[in-house]
Amino acid sequence: MDPSETERSQSREWRRETRVNVGPAERKASVIGGAALAVSGLRCISKRNYASGLAMMLAGGMFLYRGQTGHCGIYDAMGVDTVHTHNSALTIEKAVTIGLPPNEVYEFWRNLENLPRFMRHLESVQVTGARTSHWKAVGPGGISAEWDAEMMEDVPGQQISWHSVGEADVPNKGSVEFREAPGYRGTEVKVTIDYYPPGGGAGRAAAKLAQGINSQQLEEDLKRLKQILEVGEETTARRTVQ
């Protein structure tokens, strides 16, 4: 199954809506729970059980609204805000443990051209110099973005960091740390990525692209990296060669 087709609610922190006061995990739960409630309500109504059906649809609708917009009137009234407000960057951070020594995981990542093998949103990374590279990303509906990147830190077996330079469609910077995991568990890989989606009409496509780059996606990417390094390839449930 192609995850981009799934009905995941995307984190929209990048819209920086001041009215957003429900955190991303809670919003996801709101959407899923709200949809289930609304559907159950519809079922009740189809069985002529109007009162409970309507009540469930109303409650479901409220949760759906809350999940979609990230705004909860009840939270507002209570002064609750479960979003960590960023200045303008969208920061995502994820970690995974991979059963190989830090050097080997570092080596794989250090060859930046390997990144599109596990990062879904990347179409290609071309190494253009000792510290420079050119990145191409694809988003929903065939939107694409390109940028040049420069490596900042490169500590063999420990850390790599990079940032976009010049006129990037989606300005971004990233860092990955490799640390030996306790008890012979291999390497703890921690990735932090900051995006700065541009504002205004010109940035709409880029913003749409940035939507697909969220912590959920990074989580999947890192699981794919783990599969490639531990098993030798990405695990697939496909039944036929495509």
Partner 1 sequence: MRAVCWHGKHDVRVDEVADPQIVSKGDVIVKVALTCICGSDLHLYNGYVPTMKKGDILGHEFVGEVVEAGSGVTRFHVGDRVIVPFPISCGVCWYCKHELWSLCDNSNPNSWMLEHLYGDTGGGIFGYSHMYGGFSGGQAEYVRVPFADVGLEKIPDGIPYEQVVLLTDICPTGYQAADNCNINPGDTVAVWGCGPVGLMAMMSARHLGAERVIGIDRFPDRLQMAHSQCQAEVLNYEEVDVAEALQNMTGGRGPDSCIDAVGLEAVGTGIEGIYDSVKQTLRLENDRASALRQLTKACRKGGTLSIVGVYSGFIDKFPMGAIFAKGLTLHAGQAHVHKYLPHLLKLVQEQQLNPSSIITHRLPLEEAPRGYKTFLNKQDACIKIVLNPQAQGAAATPGSEQASAG
Contacting residues toward partner 1, per CB under 8 A: 1, 3, 25, 28-29, 36-37, 40, 52, 56, 97, 99, 185-186, 216, 219-220, 223, 226-227, 230-231, 233-241
Q: What is the H or E stretch that residue 74 is in? A: helix 73-78
Pick the closer one to partner 1 by CB: 120 or 173: 120
Which residues are paired to 92 by β-bridges? Answer: 193
Least distance from partner 1 to the Cβ atom of residue 109, Å? 18
The least CB distance from residue 240 to partner 1, in Å, is 5
Least distance from partner 1 to the Cβ atom of residue 164, Å: 26
Structure tokens belonging to residue 46: 């189809």
Task: Pick the closer one to partner 1 by CB: 126 or 235.
Answer: 235
Residue closer to partner 1, measured from CB, 25 or 155 = 25
Q: Compute the distance between CA of residue 174 and CA of residue 151 in angstroms, rounded to an integer.
A: 9
Question: What is the layout of strands, in order, in the sheet containing 187-195?
Answer: 90-98, 187-195, 172-180, 159-165, 144-155, 132-138, 122-127
- Give the shortest CB-235-to-partner 1 separation in angstroms: 5
Q: Which amino acid is at 82?
A: T
Q: Bridge partners of 137?
A: 122, 145
User: Minimum CB separation from partner 1 for residue 45, in Å?
Assistant: 14
* Closer Cβ to partner 1, 77 or 241, answer by number: 241
| Residue whose CB is less far from partner 1, 164 or 216 | 216
Buried b / exposed e over 200-218, threshold 16 CB at 10 Å, is eeebebbbbbbbbbbbbbb
Q: How far is the CB of 91 from partner 1 (least distance, A)?
A: 19
Q: How far apart are CA 154 and CA 69, in angstroms?
A: 40
CB of 6 to partner 1, least distance (A): 8
Radius of gyration (C-alpha) of the chain in whole angstroms: 21
Q: Which amino acid is at 113?
A: E
| Element containing residue 180 per DSSP (H, E) | strand 172-180
Nearer residue to partner 1 within complex by CB, 87 or 236: 236
If the CB atoms of residues 28 and 71 are measured against partner 1, the closer one turns out to be 28
